[in-house]
Amino acid sequence: MIRVDFSKLRILIVDDNAHMRRIVRTLLHGFGAREVHEAEDGASGLEVFTSHLPDILIVDWAMPIFDGIELVSMIRRPDSVVNPYVPIIMLTGHSEKSRVMRARDAGVTEFLCKPISAKALHQRVLNCVLNPRPFVKTKDYFGPDRRRSQSASYTGPERRTNDDAIVVDPSAERLRESVRY
């Protein structure tokens, strides 16, 4: 049996509500986490993110200055010198499908609706650690693969016009050639 050792994880909570930060911190400490940082809005969240390089972010949606979606967009920049692949869990009272889709399209890794439960939060963190999805970069998206599984019966919007392994990057092409000969 495997367990995730939370004492090895550095976690950042970004939420403008002090009560919610305290609840999430309590749950994380209960899981065994020791290093938990907090920020009360998107701007200070970005500052703590760049200064402390957390392994996982837990972010509220509705916050002053800039909100959770804007924070995610700022982190998910493929050319960022700070880890743009960091797992981000969106913890929010918004549960409408349109909101979930918007969070997903901003590059959120996991979505968790309030009211929070220990089991649900634990499961989301485990997903981030044990089952991370590859990242996809297109002209208008950078984030975790929005298709959680490879299904032949995929019925969602077809954003990838070409899924064949046509390598257009010259360096990758050279790599293929070198393997061939």
Partner 1 sequence: MREPPVGQVPTADPGFDVPADVYADHVVLRPPNRLKARAVRHVDPKDSSEVDPVRRAEHALDLLSHEFDLWMNAEIDALEAARLATAKRRDAGSLADLYRAAHDLRGQAATFGFPLAGEIADGLCDLMDALGDRPPPQPLVDHHVEAIRAIVREGARDRDHPLGAALAAGLAEMRDAIAPRIDGQ
Should residue 62 be labelled a site residue for partner 1 when binding is judged by CB under 8 A?
A: yes
Distance between CA atoms of residues 134 and 24, nearest Å: 27
Stretch that binds partner 1, among 39-47, 69-77, 117-125, 150-158 (CB under 8 A): 117-125
Interface of this chain with partner 1, residues 21 to 50, rule: CB under 8 A:
22-23, 26-32, 34-35, 50
Contacts of 14 (CB under 8 A, 6+ apart): 38, 39, 40, 41, 42, 44, 45, 48, 57, 58, 59, 60, 63, 68, 71
| Cβ distance to partner 1 smaller for residue 102 or 122 | 122
165 contacts partner 1 (rule: CB under 8 A): yes
Establish if 167 lies at the interface with partner 1 (CB under 8 A): yes
Residues 3 and 155: their CA atoms lie apart, in Å, by: 35
Considering the complex, what minimum distance in angstroms separates the CB of residue 3 from partner 1? 5
